[in-house]
């Protein structure tokens, strides 16, 4: 952020002495005295942000537990300061502090501090005002979005990420927050991808520029890790010169994806998607990588839990796994629903929405989506399989079995999809008490794929094997 922030060493000696006295007052548990000292310092040095932050901390400490005044004059003071703002932003900031010394988390006062500081070209101070307003009303998502957007607009993605995380913890279905989080992560990654900051000396990789150019022009699907890094190195100067070139950004994203550096690939795909103004293929890639990263996190936690199921933090890990899985499922539902809303006639999107609804436990909502999707011959059998699972989850075993038998009859080759259908058919028959029919279904799989799930165990068990 572009604000000439004053530090303690920048203060005139008198103000510096007063600031130090205020710090000592806080250490001596005398916050009220600290507030009085700091008001003068901050009033005359409005860009002394550390002083303003200490002033707010002191005011919070001084007013915690204090009885509220019978006559609250803060609304009148805010109204007066708003009038001042039209003429003199710095004077308005000083008047706001007179409100906040008695009510440091006052929403109207902190919001006005934001407006006045923004008007005075003091973005750090403006952001601080919104931060204090949010501290007073942590559940106000509109306020949180306003702060996150402001931080992004002033090139502070790292702090914006924390705010978006806060919003998602309050409401994990907030699609705007998830989109903002992706954007902020992309912006942060780009800031860190400056030449020489990533730990890789790209310049050394480009000693022979002609060779690097030739390498870039070649189809490098089977390139080694080193060759892929060289391609990234060649693209780096182009990206530095114009980070808004979507073709370059997309190429870098693809290369990092090839390296299986999912986090970095996601940041570039997210930026490319933003530059594209809604390219659906890039949007799908962003969602795919987000899901991959969450899947890896869940798998890592599960592996740790399996390795030491009785560790002191095992219960916390189980809760984290459950929370991550629920959050992931709901996020996928939200994203899939948004895509369907934009393209309501696309059966593939209907199938994806139905699948995610089923995985999230919303089986009844999934049924109509999958019924519409099965009309498309390209995904018909997969849709029928998912539809059968929905019926099965709702204990409608006869309807489930009907879907599965219909799908199996239409499929000639015992490919992976038919194996799933026939296996599910066996489960449904077993659930309905038709043991002999279930065994025949499992035998069909056993005859072509001994290692498919537990088909061999079920078949051999029936023979006493």
Q: What is the pLDDT of residue 229?
A: 80
The verdict on 219 and 256 lying in the same domain is: yes
The model's pTM is 0.49
Q: Is residue 303 part of a domain?
A: yes
pLDDT score of 440: 95
Q: Does any domain span residue 173?
A: no
User: Which residue bears the tokens 């509109």?
Assistant: 142
Run of H or E residues at 95: helix 89-100
Counting the structural domains of the chain, the total is 4
In contact, 304 and 296? CB cutoff 8 Å: no
Co-location of 216 and 327 in the same domain: no
How far is 35 from 40, CA to CA, in rounded Å? 9
Query: Cα separations (Å) of 199 from 34, 203, 230?
Result: 45, 12, 14
pLDDT at position 240, please? 79
Compute CA 446 distance to the chain's CA centroid, rounded to the nearest angstrom: 43
Helices vs strands, H then E, count in the chain: 24, 0
In the chain the first and final C-alpha atoms are separated, in Å, by 72
In a domain, 28, yes or no: yes
Largest separation between any pair of C-alpha atoms in the chain? 94
Does residue 190 sit within a domain?
no
> CA torsion sign, 456 to 459 to 460 to 461?
positive
Cα-trace Rg, the chain: 30
Tokens 């480009």 identify what position?
206
Q: End of a domain among 137, 163, 193?
A: 137
| HSE toward the beta carbon, residue 230, CA cutoff 13 A | 21
DSSP letter (8 states) at residue 122: -
Decide if 314 is inside a domain: yes
pLDDT of amino acid 69: 55
Last residue of a domain, one of 228, 245, 276: 276
Least Cα distance to 42 among 19, 63, 20 occurs for 19
Q: What is the DSSP letter of 66?
A: P
Give the whole-angstrom CA distance, residue 360 versus residue 393. 12
pLDDT value at residue 205:
45
Q: What's the confidence (pLDDT) of residue 45? A: 93
- Looking at 137, 167, 194, the residue that finishes a domain is 137
Sign of CA dihedral 306, 308, 309, 311: negative
Instruction: List the one residue out of 155, 158, 113, 157 whose CA is nearest residue 134.
Output: 113
d(CA 171, CA 167): 6
- Which domain covers residue 446, as residue numbers? 350-465
Q: Residues 94, 32: one domain?
A: yes
Query: What is the reported pLDDT for 38?
Result: 94
Is the domain of 387 the same as that of 307? no
Residues of the chain with pLDDT under 70: 1-2, 66-73, 190-223, 465
Spatial contact of 462 and 439, defined as CB atoms under 8 Å apart = yes
Nearest to 183 by CA among 148, 223, 229: 148
State pLDDT tens for residues 68-98. 554 556 778 888 888 888 888 899 999 999 8
Could you tell me the CA-to-CA distances from 31 to 43, 47, 110 in Å, in that order?
18, 22, 20
CATH number of the structural domain spanning residue 103: 1.25.40
pLDDT score, position 220: 47
Residues 6+ apart with CB under 8 A from 294: 324, 327, 328
Alpha-carbon span 212 to 230, nearest angstrom: 7
Residues 374 and 422 in one domain: yes
What pLDDT is attached to residue 211? 46
Structure confidence at residue 57 (pLDDT): 94
DSSP-assigned states of every residue in 205-221: HTSSHHHHHHHHHS--T
pLDDT given at position 227: 77
Q: What is the CATH number of the domain that holds 392?
A: 1.25.40.10
Regarding whether 378 and 271 lie in a shared domain, the answer is no
- The tens digit of pLDDT for each residue in 234-249 reads 888 888 788 889 999 8
105: CB partners within 8 A, 6+ apart: 60, 132, 133, 135, 136
For 125, counting Cβ atoms within 10 Å of its Cβ (0-12 exposed, 13-18 middle, 19+ buried), the class is buried
Distance CA 236, CA 245 (A): 12
Residues 448 and 416 in one domain: yes
The overall average pLDDT reported for the chain is 85
How many Å apart are CA 157 and CA 148, to the nearest integer?
8
Q: Is residue 184 part of a domain?
A: no
Q: Does 310 lie in the same domain as 230?
A: no
| Distance, CA of 63 to CA of 103 (rounded, Å) | 7
What tokens appear for 67 in the block?
């009885």
Contact by Cβ (8 Å): 111, 133: yes
Q: CA-to-CA distance for 113 and 53, rounded, in angstroms?
A: 13
């Amino acid at each position: 952020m572009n604000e000439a922030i004053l530090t303690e060493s920048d203060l005139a000696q008198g103000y510096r002495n007063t600031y130090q006295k205020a710090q000592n007052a806080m250490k001596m548990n005398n916050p009220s005295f600290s507030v009085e000292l700091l008001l003068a310092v901050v009033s005359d040095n409005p860009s002394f942000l550390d002083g303003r932050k200490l002033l707010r901390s002191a005011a919070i400490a001084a007013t915690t537990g204090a009885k509220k005044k019978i006559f609250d004059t803060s609304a009148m003071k805010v109204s007066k300061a708003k009038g001042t703002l039209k003429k003199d932003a710095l004077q308005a900031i000083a008047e706001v502090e007179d409100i906040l010394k008695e009510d440091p988390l006052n929403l109207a006062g902190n919001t006005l501090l934001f407006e006045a500081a923004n008007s005075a070209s003091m973005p750090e101070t403006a952001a601080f005002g919104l931060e204090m307003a949010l501290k007073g009303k942590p559940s106000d998502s509109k306020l949180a979005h306003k702060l996150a957007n402001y931080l992004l607009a002033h090139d502070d993605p790292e702090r914006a990420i924390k705010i978006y995380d806060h919003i998602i913890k309050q409401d994990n279905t907030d699609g705007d927050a998830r989109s903002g989080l992706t954007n902020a992560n992309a912006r942060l990654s780009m800031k860190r991808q400056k030449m020489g900051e990533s730990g890789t000396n790209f310049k050394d990789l480009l000693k022979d520029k002609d060779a690097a150019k030739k390498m870039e022009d070649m189809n490098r699907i089977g390139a080694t890790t080193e060759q892929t890094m060289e391609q990234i190195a060649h693209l780096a100067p182009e990206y530095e010169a114009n980070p808004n070139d979507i073709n370059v950004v997309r190429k870098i994203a693809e290369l990092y994806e090839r390296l299986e550096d999912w986090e970095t690939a996601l940041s570039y795909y997210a930026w490319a998607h933003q530059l594209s103004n809604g390219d659906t293929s890039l949007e799908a890639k962003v969602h795919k990588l987000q899901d991959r990263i969450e899947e890896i996190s869940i798998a890592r936690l599960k592996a740790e839990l399996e390795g030491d199921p009785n560790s002191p933090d095992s219960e916390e890990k189980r809760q984290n796994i459950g929370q991550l899985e629920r959050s992931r499922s709901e996020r996928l539902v939200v994203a899939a629903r948004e895509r369907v809303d934009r393209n309501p006639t696309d059966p593939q999107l209907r199938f994806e929405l139905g699948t995610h609804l089923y995985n999230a436990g919303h089986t009844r909502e999934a049924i109509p989506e999958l019924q519409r999707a099965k009309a498309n011959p390209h995904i018909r059998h997969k849709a029928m399989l998912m539809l059968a699972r929905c019926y099965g989850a709702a204990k409608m075993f006869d309807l489930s079995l009907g879907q599965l038998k219909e799908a199996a009859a239409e499929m000639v080759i015992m490919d992976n999809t038919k194996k799933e259908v026939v296996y599910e058919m066996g489960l449904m028959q077993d659930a309905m008490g038709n043991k002999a029919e279930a065994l025949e279904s499992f035998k069909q799989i056993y005859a072509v794929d001994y290692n498919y799930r537990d088909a061999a165990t079920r078949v051999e068990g029936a023979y006493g094997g």
